[in-house]
Structure 1
């Protein structure tokens, strides 16, 4: 009997499809991508036509080996990974690996695609196989190469000019720019005062409000009345003119109809799940993946929704027909429109061959499947089901009334009312908004006739102030990224996660607040690489990548065009001095005690405040204190900065008698015990940490030091440590690099002391007229061989450090 091997990405998906295909097929999971670029410089080589060097992902090696073993017993290979560029790339990488192993000889390789995991969809895909789409693979490779080239070139630049450990990404950086520019708008915003006046009218005991729209014969605008005095004068004039009565001058009655929103795309699903359910984009996509891959319902594994990475709003004819039947059954024939609704995406790059995110069967009501789902799955499925069903329902119908009420001949108020008369789709689903819906919805007015008089109860002035634009939430950021055509919906979750992981932004409540590091990184990139964080340029590059996926552009010339201007700019900026590259220092004020200037800036270990400077004529060293997590360089005040220098908290004594105190210094929060120090962790608060926690940190540091120790020298306190960039010698206070060709076990205590003395002497400033003497003393401090070796290695060590580059992240 012939056996066919089918490959999908995940074990959950494999389990579902295996049940659909039966014993003639074996379904295995690749567990996502199987190959990636080697994580070092040169993985994309512009000098060789952007040749890309891939390697097997370590954690997936065992899964690839399992696939290879199964393939030896199979007659054909079916690649059934997801129906997008990433899925196409996974299929291509896997087939390339298997080809290299010589396992594809005389075996057909077929690519099959389905947009929902149902038996009918899978069997239809098997009946219509194709080859791996080279254009889609090339588009994915081009995107990966661009991300790599940007990350591996901009990130080291940030390390040198701003702070170690930072990263920049082709799409991540424009997203950061959006958040930072909004913060600058908020900072620059100046609130303006304005007043509104409302009349409370009474018709036979029915009270309602009307807003002032005309005063002294002129239309009332937002800033027509800007002070309490003006508002009071207006109120008095209105009351005098009205004499207790308002006359109905006009009544305008209309019927307003509202259409339902289209079914979900990836982007709108993320937005609504954030607004309605409080889900992050990552949580939404993780839960949607589970619903797509299949859930066990009464002993049967069923994929509950269609593929969730899509920018299309179209629905299959069969799906529409089923939805209309469900609407009739659940909400009555009146809720079903005469004709089906068809939606077309506004995105110019939407793939209409895909469908919107929808239930695989609208017949599976949320209440029926909820018992088999986790709480998150149940909430998200209900959201998708309701939006999909609502999109095929009748319009909502409102009766609206707008009445003009006059107070004398020169003044007028306007009253609006709106009553829902036919709920239509609103019976199932209404959209959430970043801003409130029309306040007049469901606000009723009594029956009004032109010419009749109403009793004026009172006129009430109300003070207002304009507000700055709101900070971005996940929903509004995703919406804006899509509007600017930055990135693609499937990447939004990873963009947002990266910004938070790098601590460029913090989520405060539901809003993103940029950190000092985020603001300074953005300033550096906009000052020196403006083109590459420009929204239009980023969107244009996305269009080019889409053109590659459609076979309209070649990917290598696209990369060459980008690299031609990008690389020289990186090289040029690498020569900048840090003070020219980053203008992050802010003068806060003057220390009232010493009279010295106080500044706030970003250092290698985070933001800090400084009193004085190294160039002070009195020779006194400057003092430093790190900012708290809640403080910002651009907003910290003199008093808040001074309070940081009053922070030391005494916690008690260690068993050996050493006193323990905690404080915030230039390099962050720390605990001092005797003459020794230990850094506090990110979650440790200087104001609340207690002695047992500090003892725990001291023990952790000692254990880590012992684990990294290569050699000790009796009770001298000197030891050789295995460091991140090579072995070094330390006595707890001084530190010296161990020459690379010296083995730790061969170093004597006298040599170790000499290396430490030499390193200490090299740090001391040489006084004028004493250069030769200092040099002689320094030369005698260490064995000649060691000194020569250290000098010989100095330049190569710098070059080696310059070659270390981080992995690219978007």
Structure 2
């Protein structure tokens, strides 16, 4: 299938950006931005100046949106996404509870939902698509979380209530803190494939007990933990993480399987490759700076003093040769 199918939250964000931040989702803008980034990388454009100019324009648009009323935004989104939420038009907008009201997009404490305009006389609500269930769209469970949390029971250790809630990354369970407390409550996301409609107190407490210790690695002697993070179930060992495949259960995965998964080589992705390149670049820059610093600290060698040429001795004057006396001739 290999297709991206936008969720309702994604459709809302896209419609909002297209209406109020049109320039920044325009194809030409992203294309020009790529060219500008290439120019910065090539040293032809100063990055601070490019960032300053971007912020001036972006900050101006933010200032304009601050003056908008929330009702204006909701009305626009309701009109823009009407064909998606109500494919048969006014027929689908008729409230099934009171028969006189009209359904429209609304926003509450826990996010966007479909509601009747006759509220509070008519309290009919319908959730947007929420991740959960085998096909990622458990409508009954989503309805329970559309406007308020679902209380599952009481945590036996703390005596506090345990609730099923909806967050930006999907449904999760939480041990509710006292009202006056400012401490962050203990939470745990519900992995995909779990039927949230069947979520009860026992299942919630098992999730809240994560991460759990699987055992000790036979080679390193360090513990292996299994848990659920933002990107799904994982194994943790010696500070490193390994994703748990869909066919394995984070709640029951054992030592042998955990060691087997941890031994598998990490697949190189664009993210890991980019990270390795950045680390290599940083190390090279670090080494270059260290070398430059060491060169500055090293004392400069003194130039050897030039030797003065030896003074030439004056050549000793030779005494004039004595002339031999002239020989007398025999006639004299």
Place the TM-score, normalised by the shorter chain, in its bin.
Answer: 0.3 to 0.5
User: Higher relative contact order at CA 8 Å, sep ≥6: structure 1 or structure 2?
Assistant: 1
TM-score where L is the length of structure 2: 0.39
Pair member with larger Rg: 2
TM-score where L is the length of structure 1: 0.18
